[in-house]
Amino acid sequence: MKIAFFSTKSYDRESFEKNNKQDHQLDFYEAQLNDQTVNLTQGYKAICVFVNDQVDAGIIEKLHQNGVQIIALRCAGFNNVNLQAAAAVGIKVVRVPAYSPMAVAEHAVALIMTLNRKTHKAYNRVREGNFAADRLTGFNLFGKTVGVIGTGKIGEAFCQIMLGFGCKVVAFDIYENKKLIKQGIEYLPFEEVLQQSEIVSLHCPLNDHTHHIMNKTTFSKMKKGAMLINTSRGGLVDTKAVIKALKKGRLGYLGIDVYEEEEHIFFQDLSEKIITDDQIMRLMAFPNVLVTAHQGFLTNEALENIASVTIENITSFENGAELENEISVS
């Protein structure tokens, strides 16, 4: 089958070409899928998109007119796809539900460790011959309370790592994970998790119920000086409110791999450009904020799984087989 890939990077091309055992025709476009690029899909039955490709109702209508029959997401989250619009025109949507939960969980831990022990600052200091240790003081993770919002595949992996550090882990999810309860985590109402935790890590999907789950009110429930980690989706955090919470010192640290307006910024080299998004520039100016540009998924193991499962999803569609990873409208 002919497949048009959008928002592709060199690592996507490498992993997909390596895993293309079925000899599909893979055409890689660097451009994001949006109004300007949707016409590139003419002649393709399958397209493959990533987290910041725009797959709203208008784009889906054009995909349908161009003959696209399947949208294969090479990621787990699907908040950027209008599933109702796709179902209405009979376009199938498939994803990679669990390519490597450990990759994202471990990245969340990397953000915690860096913010806490300030290894990013130490690295720069030492390179300039500054071996002083003042202002690098961190805190022991052992014995601290970590709150986890969303204990699905990534949240579960994250809980297990934090238990290994000797942390007390409390969690909120709309469904309790029995395995985690047996391992010692305690489920509490959302606000209580915020009240008890020195570190809060978000691992729930972005949807109408979770949009801005971290806002002015919920920041006021957190322990003063606590750390917030978001490796899930930018829209979970109200950016204006988080900036205020940081300015007031209510929030002590922020580590984000995702950002509400990331689609205009992330996955691009803007080092020689004027960045017009004042909110991200404000966030990056705080000494206690660490931003990474949506790289939580980026491990060799995850790329391998993403490519092989995506190719399998499209092959199943081509063969008329059952679509195990289809996302149905709820």
How many C-beta atoms surround the C-beta of residue 279 within 10 A?
14
Q: What is the DSSP string of 255-291?
A: EES--TTGGGTTTS--TTS----HHHHHHHHSTTEEE
Assess 151 for contact with ligand NAI (CB under 6 A). Answer: yes
For residue 182, the minimal CB distance to ligand NAI (Å) is 16
User: Quick one: 7 or 41, whose CB is closer to ligand NAI?
Assistant: 7
294 lies in the site for ligand NAI, by CB under 6 A: yes
Tell which one of 126, 136, 174, 321 touches ligand NAI (CB under 6 A).
174
Is 209 a binding residue for ligand NAI by CB under 6 A? The answer is yes
Please, what is the end-to-end C-alpha distance for the chain in angstroms?
A: 29
Q: Is 159 in the site for ligand NAI (CB under 6 A)?
A: no
CB atoms within 10 A of CB 176: 13
Note whether 46 binds ligand NAI by CB under 6 A: no
Q: Is 93 in the site for ligand NAI (CB under 6 A)?
A: no
Q: Does 197 bind ligand NAI (CB under 6 A)?
A: no
The answer to whether residue 297 forms part of the interface with ligand NAI (CB under 6 A) is yes
Give the binding range for ligand NAI (CB under 6 A) out of 84-92, 119-127, 148-156, 313-321: 148-156
Q: Per rule CB under 6 A, is residue 149 in the interface with ligand NAI?
A: yes
Among 16, 44, 172, 259, binds ligand NAI (CB under 6 A): 172
Calculate the dihedral angle through the C-alpha atoms of 283, 285, 289, 293, rounding to the nearest 10 degrees.
60
Q: Which of 110, 154, 185, 241 binds ligand NAI (CB under 6 A)?
A: 154
Q: Which residues pair with 312 in a beta bridge?
A: none
118 token code pair:
């300030």
Find the catalytic residue in 156, 233, 263, 312. Answer: 233
Which member of 156, 198, 260, 262 is catalytic?
262
What is the Cα–Cα distance from 228 to 251, expressed in whole angstroms? 8
Interaction of residue 152 with ligand NAI, rule CB under 6 A: yes
Residue nearer to ligand NAI on the CB measure, 70 or 73? 73
Looking at residue 218, its amino acid is T
- Stretch binding ligand NAI (CB under 6 A), from 61-69, 173-181, 273-281, 316-324: 173-181
Cα 262 to the chain's mean position, in Å? 11
DSSP secondary structure letter of residue 27: E
Q: Which is nearer to ligand NAI, 101 or 147 (CB)?
A: 101
210 part of the interface to ligand NAI, by CB under 6 A: yes
Contact 89, 95 (CB under 8 A): no
Instruction: Please confirm, yes or no, whether 262 is among the known catalytic residues.
Output: yes
Residues 6+ apart with CB under 8 A from 120: 114, 290
Contact track, ligand NAI, 243-262, x by CB under 6 A: --------------xx----
For residues 100 and 302, the answer to whether their CB atoms sit within 8 Å is yes
Distance CA 101, CA 78 (A): 16
Backbone angles phi, psi at 32, to 5 degrees: -70, 150
Residue given tokens 């290994």 in the structure block: 164
Which residue's Cβ lies closest to ligand NAI?
A: 152
Catalogue the active-site residues.
233, 262
Which residues are near ligand NAI by CB under 6 A? 76-77, 98, 101, 104, 149-155, 172-175, 203-206, 209-210, 231-233, 257-258, 294, 296-297
